[in-house]
Structure 1
């Protein structure tokens, strides 16, 4: 009985590990499914190489961009507001410093947007800071 119980426990542990690995492997599937229609939109926009009207193409890209932002927002991802804020190393990564009329250590330009997810930084904003 003891050996049988031990074997059952070992099998259950292996099954739990397999289930956990499977969960981790496919945990992003729901988000990916939400992104696929947006990828389809991009493909349609890129296939429409006969577009003569730049404004309509730009509007299409803006719509796709807004859809992407909506998907990540629904997953708890938000852009970090950097411009005009005091430099914060937790949220900002300085790439340049420049003389400015702004107070010292103020973000005067955002070179790449940063993002947080449920309060945790995914990627810091790349910024130019006043000195």
Structure 2
């Protein structure tokens, strides 16, 4: 009988141990489930972060592409306007010698110049309406290589004309604020 009691006690002692083991097992399951949930939330956060980064990169790429397109559109519109403004440049360059000939004929005395002056006036007005502007009043101004072409240098008639334009050999013209023909000038030294 003592053997039986000892067995029951052994079994009784084993049972609480087993219950504790079960509780520990449940705790382990809960811990592992919580760890799994934590890992899933970390994975979700990582995925969310990577998606937001990718979204931001795509937005940046879109904004850059859009601004490049806007710059291209503005640049081509500007180039078209410049082409329209200077489209008549070649024909005007060919007409300029005719204007020069008219001006030379006015300097010759004894010519009937009334008809020539009328034609010259009309031609000048038409060219001015197309944007052609003569470079006038250059004598006494400083030489500027962007607008003038120096033909020669002569001794300056006065001290204030040194390094400045003394005479204009051929008049210069501008078309829409761009030089069509440089003024050919003589500079005092």
TM-score for both structures, normalised by structure 1: 0.56
Is 1:68 aligned with 2:120? no
1:9-31 per-residue CA deviation (whole Å, 9 max, x = no partner) reads xxxxxxxxxxxxxxx9xx65xx8
Q: Give 1 or 2: higher helix fraction.
A: 2
1:104 to 138, 162, 172: 162
Question: 4+ runs of 1 displaced by more than 6 Å?
Answer: none
What is the CA-CA distance between 1:77 and the residue it aligns to?
0.5
Is 1:80 aligned with 2:135? yes
Question: Is the CA contact 2:140–2:161 (under 8 Å) kept in the aligned structure 1?
Answer: no
What is the CA-CA distance between 1:103 and the residue it aligns to?
2.6
Instruction: Tell me what 1:128 maps to.
Output: 186
Q: CA RMSD in A?
A: 2.6
User: Which protein, 1 or 2, shows the higher relative CO under an 8 Å CA cutoff with sep ≥ 6?
Assistant: 1
1:32-75 per-residue CA deviation (whole Å, 9 max, x = no partner) reads 9xx9xxxxxxxxxxxxxxxxxx45x2111111111111011000
Question: What number of residue pairs does the alignment pair up?
Answer: 84
Give the unaligned 5+ runs of structure 2: 1-83, 96-109
What is the CA-CA distance between 1:112 and the residue it aligns to?
0.4
CA distance in 2, matches of 1:109, 1:66: 24
CA distance in 2, matches of 1:60, 1:103: 38
- Greater Cα radius of gyration, structure 1 or 2: 2
Q: Give 1 or 2: higher strand fraction.
A: 1
Give the unaligned 5+ runs of structure 1: 1-23, 36-53
CA distance in 1, matches of 2:124, 2:140: 22
Question: Is the CA contact 2:151–2:185 (under 8 Å) kept in the aligned structure 1?
Answer: yes
CA distance in 2, matches of 1:84, 1:65: 27
What is the CA-CA distance between 1:97 and the residue it aligns to?
0.5
Within-5 A mapping of 1:1-131 = 28=88, 54=110, 57-81=112-136, 82-100=138-156, 101=158, 102-131=160-189
